[in-house]
């Protein structure tokens, strides 16, 4: 079990809400980009960057850092916002998302933002790269290395066959230092994952490939903390955390809607709010709902 305190949970919830606000603001400014996935993954990114990762935002190339690989590059607004909030670059830079010359390319490119571990966008290759990193660490530090590689993927991207090539290799090589986190939000661009290409019981799939499987509510910080702690204790097997999340989490009219997968506020479906109202309403709803912070305010 993890050992996170109530106070830490409350701080993380508030941080996640700030990050959601930045995600909305940067997407509104950019006028294009993905909304549902970034909002849905805000809690997990917040937990990783503010609690789990060994990293130093002032020294991004610190050799002893853990590696975080974002495979589904299109949810980069949450990566950029979390990195900015944790001090990798100024928060005001988030407004440059998707603009010419920006370090914040539409899909992550480490030539523009060297603090990134990888460039990504084309789906299905992040896990392979993470396997390569975990293998390199094992060659250098052996089977007891405490340096972890976190690979974040979508669920829709598991349609890509390359993932399963990497899944097999990670199990064969018994990569204890690899922790995959799947954003199980059940949507992809064309619709619900189970309509487009059913993934069914992901846990059984991974178990049959000899992975250690943990399933959690991806918005519950205690559950995230328990899962990461558990994954780190597993020896001789890679771990996968299947994080069930609500796409669009924090903005009620976006939640669970695949129509918000690839659209920013102002370009989404108009059944609740017209396009010209979406930006204002999204930010207002987020604040009103408080990002659904559950802890007592201890200010």
By the criterion CB under 8 A, which residues form the site for another protein? 67, 69, 109-111, 117-122, 124-125, 128-137, 139-140, 161-162, 165-166, 168-169, 173
DSSP letter string over 205-270?
HHHHTT-EEEEEETT-HHHHHHHHHHHHH--SS-EEEEEE--TTTT-TTTTT-GGGSS--TTSS--
Residue nearer to another protein on the CB measure, 1 or 139:
139
Tell me how far, at minimum, the Cβ of 172 lies from another protein, in Å. 8
C-alpha–C-alpha distance, residues 240 and 207, integer Å: 9
Residue 68: its H or E element: strand 67-70
Q: How far is CA 267 from CA 30, 98, 279, in A?
A: 11, 16, 9
* Beta bridge partners of residue 191, listed in sequence order: 188
C-alpha–C-alpha distance, residues 232 and 214, integer Å: 12
The three-state secondary structure class of 148 is: coil
Q: Any idea what DSSP says for residue 200?
A: -
Per-residue 3-state assignment (H helix, E strand, C coil) for 274-298: CHHHHHHHHHHHHHHHHHHCCCCCC
Torsion (CA) 6, 11, 77, 244 in degrees, nearest 10? 10
Tell me how far, at minimum, the Cβ of 110 lies from another protein, in Å. 6
Residue 198: its H or E element: none
Residue nearer to another protein on the CB measure, 166 or 227:
166
Tell me how far, at minimum, the Cβ of 149 lies from another protein, in Å. 8
Tell me how far, at minimum, the Cβ of 79 lies from another protein, in Å. 16
Residue nearer to another protein on the CB measure, 43 or 117:
117
Tell me how far, at minimum, the Cβ of 39 lies from another protein, in Å. 26
Tell me how far, at minimum, the Cβ of 177 lies from another protein, in Å. 12
Residue nearer to another protein on the CB measure, 130 or 278:
130
Say if residue 199 is exposed, middle or buried (CB neighbours under 10 Å; 0-12, 13-18, 19+).
Answer: middle
Residue nearer to another protein on the CB measure, 31 or 121:
121
Residue nearer to another protein on the CB measure, 131 or 228:
131
The three-state secondary structure class of 38 is: helix
Tell me how far, at minimum, the Cβ of 137 lies from another protein, in Å. 7
Residue nearer to another protein on the CB measure, 160 or 183:
160
Residue nearer to another protein on the CB measure, 92 or 111:
111
Tell me how far, at minimum, the Cβ of 162 lies from another protein, in Å. 4
* Beta bridge partners of residue 205, listed in sequence order: none
């Amino acid at each position: 079990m993890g050992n996170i305190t109530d106070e830490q949970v409350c701080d993380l919830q508030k941080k996640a809400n700030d990050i959601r606000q930045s995600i909305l603001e940067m997407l509104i400014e950019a006028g294009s980009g993905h909304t549902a996935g970034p909002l849905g993954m805000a809690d997990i990114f917040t937990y990783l960057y503010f609690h789990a990762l060994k990293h130093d935002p002032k020294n991004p190339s610190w050799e002893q850092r853990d590696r975080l690989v974002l495979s589904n590059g299109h949810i980069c607004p949450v990566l950029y916002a979390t990195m900015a909030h944790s001090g990798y670059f100024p928060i005001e830079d988030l407004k440059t998302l998707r603009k010419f010359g920006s370090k914040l390319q539409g899909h992550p490119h480490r030539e523009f933002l060297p603090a990134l571990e990888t460039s990504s966008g084309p789906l299905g290759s992040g896990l392979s790269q993470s396997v390569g990193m975990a293998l390199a660490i094992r060659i250098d530090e052996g089977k007891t290395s405490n340096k972890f590689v976190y690979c974040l993927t979508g669920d829709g991207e598991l349609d890509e066959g390359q993932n399963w090539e990497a899944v097999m290799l990670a199990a064969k090589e018994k990569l204890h230092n690899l922790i995959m986190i799947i954003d199980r939000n059940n949507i992809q661009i064309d619709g619900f994952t189970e309509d487009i290409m059913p993934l069914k019981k992901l846990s059984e799939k991974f178990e049959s490939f000899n992975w250690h499987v943990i399933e959690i509510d991806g918005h519950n910080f205690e559950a995230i903390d328990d899962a990461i702690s558990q994954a780190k204790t597993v020896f001789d097997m890679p771990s996968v955390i299947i994080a069930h999340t609500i796409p669009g989490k924090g903005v009620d009219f976006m939640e669970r809607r695949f129509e918000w997968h690839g659209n920013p506020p102002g370009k989404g479906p108009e059944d609740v709010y017209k396009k010209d109202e979406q930006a204002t309403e999204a930010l207002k709803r987020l604040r009103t709902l408080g990002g659904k912070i559950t802890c007592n305010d201890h200010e």
